Every structure is written in C-alpha cells, then in structure tokens.
Amino acid sequence: MYEWLGPTMFLGALVILSLGYPVAFSLAAVGIIFGIIGVSLGIFDPILIRAMPSRVFGIAANFTLLAIPYFVFLGSMLEKSGLAEDLLETMGVLFGPLRGGLAIAVVIVGALLAATTGVVAATVVAMGMISLPIMLRYNYSKELACGVICAAGTLGQIIPPSIVLVVLGDQIGVSVGRLFLGSLIPGLLLSVSLAVYCYVIALIKPNVAPALPLSARTLHGWPLALRVLKVMVPPLFLILAVLGSIFFGIATATEAGAVGALGATLLALANRRLSFKTFRDVSDATMRVTTMVIFILIGSTSFSLVFRALSGDKFVFDLMANLPGGYWGFMVVSMLIVFFLGFFIDFFEICFIVIPLFVPVAQTLGIDLLWYGVILGANLQTSFLTPPFGFALFYLRGVAPPGITTAHIYRGVLPFIAIQISLLILIILFPALVSFLPNMAFGT
C-alpha cells in the first residue's frame, strides 16, 4: 500500500542534494522526516529509530574507515611541505627535452602522487598551481595543459592507496588490501596510456607541446641524475612502505596508512620542511576531511535505515535484478547511474547511498565484487573529469591563471575522457587485469 514511499524518499534526497544543501544534514533530514511518516502510518516500529545511536557508534568503531585520516594526512603533508612541488619541477627538467615532455612529467608526477596520497583535490590543485603556468610559459596548448593536469590528478581515484577504494571496500564488503592490489594494474595501464597520448600528440602536432628551449634546461649530467634520485626516492619509499606492507601481508590497509602518514612526516622532517605551522595546517586539513566523511556516513546511515524500513531496498533490488539482459543489463545500467550521478554529487555520497543498493543485486547475479569494485572506482574517476560538473575541472578552474577559461578546460579533457572510457571497457572485457595481483598475493 505504501510501496511508493521508498522511491519517493530516494528521489527527494537526490533533489535536495542537487540544490546544494550540505550532504550529511540533507540525508539525515530526509531520513528523519520519512521516519516520522513511517512511524505515524504504522509501517514500522519506533524501536527502529531508537537503534540509530548504536549504528552511529558502529561507524565510529569501523577499523577500515580509520585509513581515511591517515591517507589524507599523508597527502596533505606531501603537498604542504613542498615535496610534491620539488617532484614536479625536477620531472619537468628531466623530460623537458622531449616534445610533450612537460605533459609526460605531469602524468608521471600525478601517478606518483596518487600512489602516495590518493587525494585527488590536493593533486589537481598542486599541479595546477605549479605546472600549468610553466607549461603555458613554454607555449603549450592551453587545452592540452589543462586536460593532462585534470586527467593525471584524478589518477588518485584508482591508483592505490585511494580513499575511494577505502570507502568502496567498506561498502561492498571486500578487503581494502585486495581492492588496492586489484586496481594497481589498471591504474598503471591508464598512466601509461595518458603518457603515450601526450607523446603521440606532440609528434603529430609539435606546436601544441614543444620541447623546452636550451635556456630552460638548467641541469645536465650527474647534477640532474642526483636531483632526480633525491626527489624520486621519497615517493618510492612511501609506495613501498604503504603498498609493499599490504602486498607482503605485513599490514592491513589501515595500518599501512599509519605507516605512510609517519613516513611522510619523517620525510618532511629530513628535508627540513616540517614546521609547527605545516603540522598544524596538515592536521587541520585532515580533521576537516575526516569530519566531513564521518558526518556524511552518519547522515547516510540514518537515511538507509529508514529507506530499508520502507522496503526501498527491496524495490531497487527487484528493479535492478530483473532488467532486460540480466547480468549485462545490470552492469550497463549500474555503471550509467554511477557515471551520471558523478556529474552532480561527490563520490562519498554515491558510495554511501547508491552502492549499498547495488551490492545485493551484484551478489545475486554472481558478479565478482572485487572486479565490480575496481570498475566502480574507474567509473567514478571518469565522472570526475566529465563536463559540465566534473569535480577535477572545478579544482583546476579555481587555481588556473586568468588566461585559462572554462572552455579551455572542457575541451582539454575530452580526449582523456575517451582514454579512460577505453580503459574501463578493457577492465570489463579482461577481468584478469583486476584479479591477477590479488590472487597472487592472497590466493584465489
């Protein structure tokens, strides 16, 4: 009789979110309003609402989510201590003699920062502020410069340690360590594809990505080699500390995050970049992001509690499980929903609201949740780039020089979106790209 309440509740939440209200409070408010409606109509017992505090404490005790502040701290420390800036400048000098060399350097730095931080906003902002003016100074096409920065900055969505994968692992019930290893090969393939595109387009159109002039190549020979070693060893050390400890079974993803946070702090100290102000700023950034995530999770928990009580999850299950085409019908529709939602709302909201509704259907249809989780991560990364609402585009627009318009950024990301969609199709067609490393590390 009241089957319409569940779908109405879901649509109401999406409408409120699209209006720009704070996510956590919007979800909680919708949950409370429909909870009151459900109790007043006698659809479910009020004791369900009283169960909410125990659910909140359960969130606070979630060991997996503890990885989020560690990885945010790690990324903020690298950014605010200047280690990321050193890496960008040195890679630019190293690859500058090549046509498209600066763009290739941006891809390499983006991959390294992704493999050490997993924080997309920090990566895009840092590279936008540092490398975009340099690329424009040496006559790079505005579109190519903007596109490669946005694309390389979003590598943190799929290259571990990714906060997206941490949240996805918690929501789909798959080990975060397995997700990290499963996404490593697709992430590296994407990085190589971006770099190859920059090199090829520079060969075809030399004027869009010229080599650095001789006057800009300030380091040569051994001094350059020593500089490269100095800036490459820290991120490689962090990658080994974080991913190596997971791969060899020494630590869980959460424990590896703690190791990475400590390692970043020690590197900043060793480079004499760790001041009280830096530590305070890093801690403040970590607290803000972590608090935002936890409040969104609390709001989404209250929402999902009432949504399930109104049988909304059953409605979604019946709808998605009986799509034409069965297995592939569900895959296509679920990917399209996540892709289009990524235009308007952040990945946290998608992970906390939509993904839990898809997981039971995926399990019923026999879909490997590890493979499905990596595909979702790659899909979310693509939506970060897609105009008109891709978040990476806004991050870059906020720090771009006055000569860069929104149109330059939109046109610049189009070929990189095509590359990412091609990779997404490749992962779907060849699941072994995802399963190979986890099977080797943990067994089948």
pLDDT in tens, 193-208: 999 999 999 889 888 8
What pLDDT score does 101 carry?
A: 82
**CB 148, CB 409: distance < 8 Å:** no
Please check whether residue 226 lies inside any domain of the structure: yes
**Residue 9 included in any domain:** no
- Examine residue 245 and state whether it is found in any structural domain, yes or no: yes
3-state secondary structure of 340: helix
Supply the pLDDT for residue 189: 93
pLDDT at 200: 92
Instruction: Return the SS3 of 367.
Output: coil
Asked if 400 contacts 131 with a C-beta cutoff of 8 angstroms, the reply is: no
CA 336 to chain centre: 18
47 located within any domain: no
pLDDT more than 90, % of the chain: 7
| In the chain, % of residues over pLDDT 70 | 85
Q: Is 140 left (phi over 0), alpha (psi -120 to 50) or beta?
A: beta
DSSP 8-class letter at 43: S
* pTM score above 0.85: no
Q: What is the pLDDT of residue 193?
A: 94
Helix axis angle, 406-429 relative to 391-399, nearest 10°? 150
Q: Looking at the domain assignment, is residue 30 inside a domain?
A: no
Number of domains in the chain: 1
In a domain, 7, yes or no: no
Residue 213 is classified by DSSP as: P
Residue 267 pLDDT exceeds 70: yes
Give the domain range for residue 394.
65-295+309-442
Say if 13 falls within a structural domain. no
In a domain, 164, yes or no: yes
119, pLDDT greater than 80: no
